[in-house]
Chains A and B, each alone.
Chain A
């Protein structure tokens, strides 16, 4: 028995596919697309969150880039990008290639220990590091013990050192994530490649660039996407450690979103504009990075 059916080549998209994605799409639309659009819409108004808003056009966006305080926040975010994304990935590479060459006892233990910061709530991380950096915390204690007392300072309260200090916390948190991803990737690289490289006389550096790095492209792309996102939407750590201070030395856009919307100035429109800018930035940067790293287009 044959039924008449439309002539479509096998494998070509059919309308029924929409039915399959519908449940997920509905949720995605309700909880992500709609709020995103709504946020974009509010960003075009001057709105205090209570009274009727007035049309602002793109002036909120102009302010986000024009206001020196807010622009400073974006600069800080890019500095933090180094600490949150670049540094952890580099360090994780060193660790992973070291582990690939040397058989290590208790590997699982180290892996767990390094991944642990990812599991701990960011608030806890912040409270602990606030103590570590405090004037009589362990870092300064070590410095004084080593006779370097003149370097001891309240790290989070120092205009020069506050931002790098927050950055180091980010490195500490993200390094475990990058490492676990890379380790999983390394196990997938055929051992023959390493053997071949060694027979050809490759040293550890050459081996890394010729074997490990090409084999880890996909993992690197994933790691960078996750860490870059974490860096740009970094709110909790700043809120808990420095509140953007001292002065405005560590203020970042994500913190300003909260501060403008729920803080005393009630600039909900401006906050939404900053939020949209962060979203676009994350989207652009991560998609460029993945394309470059994965070697596509």
Chain B
């Protein structure tokens, strides 16, 4: 036997041992887990003894980071027996590492898990999150949040149905997609800031005819057009239909209002209402240019953009239709392997209290529930507060279409790029989306 032969044989034997061994994911599943809502809930943190709470969040941007730092410190001051170990990572980094962290032996106690099938649904299915319903009852979270906001953090206990079932987290910030407008440009065009969707749509041809780009959009990063389509669809189809569609209850993407919304978007591109070379312009770049008075009278985008307002910004305003795409920030969830679920839940309650909303407001954020006393300040924030309150008061929030299936965002953004680029027509686009949706529903 030549030595090389022996090595091959050894390798083959090792491979065989691996193959006949257990399936991936079956090892390292030790330790108790709380996968049902605890019956007895203890809200007295001071009596919990010495506790170190490990928290993984993605609140890394300026105001977000300051808010969490301040609230963490206040929580530790309030309960000297608790030490908070904070790990903060950018959204993308957290997405990529959270799965590994949760399947490890020493997972964090509190994590920010993204809503939807892709992350929260997977974690629930794998029994990695604790249902918080009994805590929600004890702390009165149903009074803190509108029902549609709590629903966004709900999943059936098998992780298969999104939008109803157990509560798996609570969010700190709200976000809606709306219309930013450049006040100087509007007055030069002889137009008023939009008060209704019809106002906004009517302004587009006027702006175009006077040589302005009506809507600035940079779609190189693929996702932005989802928000563009979402806000149009919310007007055409209405909140009930979109919610039913996204949460898989009824409806199809090929329904007339949904196709009509795609037709409107394609038409905007064709009429030159959107930035030229729309698929070749970066999202951040388009926003920066728009915000400093460059290309575009309007910018259809999320309230999060206000945080990236450049110093030399033009005079901008914000308005949102009463029914629009939106949601809430990644919720704080309790990990089922946590040894201190009571303390973890108390921490989440603290982070979403009226006081925490005050701290958020002071740091220029849009708190998900009304703050205790703080008032928004600076450019844009008062407008954004008004728009958010209008939408949440009338329960007009329509969920992101990304939530429809695990990889719906991928399909949707590719199809919308094709639609905007003229590679596809509205009917085909919606048929492709429906096929993807149906495939997921059939496999459910």
Contacts and interface: CB of A to CB of B under 8 A. Distances in A.
B280 A154 contact: yes
A52 interface: yes
B25 A53 contact: yes
Specify the main secondary structure of chain B where it touches its partner: helix
A247 interface: yes
B409 interface: yes
A242 interface: yes
Interface in A246-270: 246-248, 259, 262-266, 268-269
A84 interface: no
B118 A245 contact: no
Contacts of A195: none
A130 interface: yes
Contact of A38 (B18, B122, B285, B423): B18
Contact of B406 (A133, A155, A266): A266
A13 interface: yes
Given A134-B285, A264-B410, A246 B123 contact: no
A244 B409 CA distance: 13
Contacts of A246: 220, 222, 279, 414, 417-418, 421
Nearest to A127: B282
A68 to B, nearest CB: 12
Contact of A50 (B14, B102, B407): B102
A84 B279 CA distance: 25
A157 B118 contact: no
A274 interface: no
A41 B414 CA distance: 32
A245 B279 contact: yes
B122 A266 contact: yes
B31 interface: no
B413 A55 contact: no
Interface string B115-134: 01111001101101000000
Nearest to A38: B18
Contacts of A37: 11, 14-15, 18
Contact of A41 (B19, B102, B278): B19
Contacts of A13: 3
Given A37-B15, A42-B24, A157-B278, A51 B126 contact: yes
A49 B24 CA distance: 8
B221 A53 contact: no
A154 B277 CA distance: 5
B123 A50 contact: yes
Contacts of A262: 95-96, 99
Nearest to B420: A246
Nearest to A152: B277
B103 interface: yes
B220 A55 contact: no
A61 interface: no
Contacts of A52: 23-26
Output the residue of B19, B126, B421 with the most chain A CB within 10 A.
Answer: B421
Contacts of A130: 220, 282
Contact of A44 (B19, B25, B278, B413): B19
Given A262-B96, A263-B407, A49 B414 contact: no
B26 A154 contact: no
Output the residue of A51, A55, A130, A134 with the most chain B CB within 10 A.
Answer: A51
7 closest cross-chain pairs (CB), A and B: A154-B280, A157-B280, A264-B118, A157-B279, A154-B277, A50-B126, A246-B417
Given A37-B15, A158-B277, A158-B421, 4 more contacts: A49-B122, A157-B279, A259-B410, A268-B24
29 contacts: A33-B11, A40-B15, A41-B18, A41-B19, A42-B24, A44-B19, A45-B24, A47-B24, A48-B126, A49-B25, A49-B122, A50-B25, A51-B25, A52-B24, A133-B280, A134-B281, A135-B281, A154-B278, A154-B279, A157-B417, A158-B279, A158-B280, A245-B413, A246-B222, A262-B96, A263-B118, A264-B116, A264-B409, A266-B406
